A and B are shown apart, each in its own frame.
Chain A
Amino acid sequence: MIPLRYFVREGLHIVGSNRKISFLATGVIALALFFLGFFFLITNNLQTVEEAWRRQQKMVVYLHDGAEGDRELLEKVLASRGFVRRFAHQSAEEAYRRFQADFPSLGEVLDATRDNPFSASYELELDPGHEEEARAFQAQLEKTAGVAEVQYDTAWLQKLNSFVFFLRWFGIALGVLLGTGAIIIVTNVVRIATLVHRDEIEILWLVGAPPQYIRGPFLLQGILLGLGGGALSILLLAGIYHFFVLQVRSNFQVLWNFLALSFLPIPTLLLLMAGGIFCGLAGSLLFKFEEQAD
């Protein structure tokens, strides 16, 4: 029989009887989990961005000034490829107006120059998953009459992808490193708690309390510290996330529309809590209990 009520009550007492030290341990666990969660938060959102961009891959074909005569042939070429979902022509004037709408303050700067720096272009929407063919198509288009330049860039998506990968593993490594530190600290916090309660522990041994009655409360202490650390890390992450969201939304409206930020999903949060419990429990288990009476 596991006397859970007894463990919880005694565990709470132990945690409460040395608040400074309990807070220290909770803080260290929270820090480890915070970094882990922080990197997950960043990489999750970067991944969302990456996926969104992969889904709406674009190729932009810029035309020479006065290449109106080449458009008919060019559109035939564009229509010939299955992975080109659709294409749309944009005149130099339209490009100019669009820029002014998007960046009103910069529009004035352009106005002063009076010369329209934009070119007419075709915007191609591509089906995802045809990157190789699209690159070949880009080379072909660049040689086609009337075409000044073709913008089609997937290298940076690849770079973003490896960056996300790197960040994620960096976060995990940092979390594991700090987590190990947290475990060591919990072990010592439990050691201190057993010293503080050594008289009680001795009495319990002497009256014949089974080891689990003596050990249990200190395991509970570890679990409680871990739960506290997990909760604290999530609070910190949520706080920072909401602060960031608020800043972006009020100061960078365009960026906000484009980013579609999201907080960590519930399974990840549960994972952080589990990580906290793991640190606390492992730390407590690592402390070697010996009968003090011998």
Chain B
Amino acid sequence: MIQMYHVFKHYPPNIHALADVTLFVEKGEFVFLTGHSGAGKSTLLRLITRAEIPSAGQILVAGRNVLALNPSKIPFFRRQIGVVFQDIKLIARKTIFENIAFILSVMGVPFQEQKKRVYQILKLVGLHHRMNALPHQLSGGEQQRVAIARALINHPPLLIADEPTGNLDEEMAWDVMTLFDKLNMKGTTVVMATHNRQIVEMMKKRIIHIEKGRVVEDSGARREPA
């Protein structure tokens, strides 16, 4: 699903966020990305979704060369990936419903169908009663769950989640992990960056550990994609 070959990312003036990262994630895998703050987890995830471009190296996602993507294909490419952003990124002046339904309306889903599907996905994260609220009327944890719902609305084959449990209490965090696990069992590839040791230990999934932009440990590394 994801193949990275000798990927570097520099930021001016001389920040080396990622250095020589090579890794492969199979279709259907569940991968935790761990590392200290500033290690480069978010940067790596942003490269996968082509939110940013690497300074060097090659990245393939779902068989497509991310760098060679025709700009007109990028929106479609991004809609194939569900992304939970570390900083949530909800549109402040739009309701929870509108924030999530937007992606469906882009895809031409009729309004009635949008309503049904948004309701269902919000029910999954326990927020179906807040459809018409604005993001600022929700707690941090609730906003995070909306962001998760938005990432899932489209049934994407790949889920990229950057610290999705950061604002959630323990119980809620486990609910989300259970949800991700279920999705994973149904075939969704999950890549999740987190600081939460307990979750990482309990879930017993593959762990990629990053330090100062380098992969220093990979519990399920393979040399080449199968």
Contact = CB atoms under 8 A, between A and B. Distances in A.
Interface of A: 1, 3, 6, 13, 199-200, 202-211, 213, 291, 293-294
Contacts of A213: 106
Given A206-B85, A207-B83, A210-B75, 9 more contacts: A199-B92, A200-B92, A202-B89, A204-B91, A206-B51, A207-B78, A207-B102, A208-B74, A209-B103
A204 B94 CA distance: 12
A74 B101 CA distance: 93
Nearest to A13: B93
A153 B197 CA distance: 103
A15 B53 CA distance: 34
Interface in B56-96: 71-72, 74-79, 81, 83, 85, 89-93
| Most B C-beta atoms less than 10 A away, residue of A207, A211, A213, A291 | A207
A204 B75 CA distance: 9
B53 A210 contact: no
Contact of B78 (A3, A13, A206, A294): A206
A6 B105 contact: yes
B52 A208 contact: no
A200 B135 CA distance: 13
B53 A294 contact: yes
A294 B81 CA distance: 18
B77 A208 contact: yes
A293 B52 contact: yes
Contacts of B102: 204, 207, 209
A203 B98 CA distance: 13
B89 A206 contact: yes
A210 B91 CA distance: 17
Contacts of B49: 206
B51 A207 contact: no
Contact of B106 (A13, A209, A294): A209
A203 B103 CA distance: 11
B103 A208 contact: yes
A224 B213 CA distance: 49
B45 to A, nearest CB: 11
Given A208-B77, A209-B75, A211-B75, A203 B89 contact: yes
A294 B50 CA distance: 8
Nearest to B156: A208
Contact of A208 (B53, B92, B106): B106
A293 B52 CA distance: 7
B51 A203 contact: no
Contacts of A13: 93
B76 to A, nearest CB: 7
A240 to B, nearest CB: 40
Given A206-B85, A207-B78, A208-B77, A200 B91 contact: yes
B108 interface: yes
Contact of B108 (A1, A207, A209): A1
Contact of A293 (B51, B77, B92): B51
Contacts of B106: 208-210, 213
6 contacts: A202-B89, A206-B83, A206-B85, A207-B150, A208-B74, A208-B76
Nearest to A202: B89
Contact of A203 (B53, B76, B79, B91): B91
A3 B109 CA distance: 12
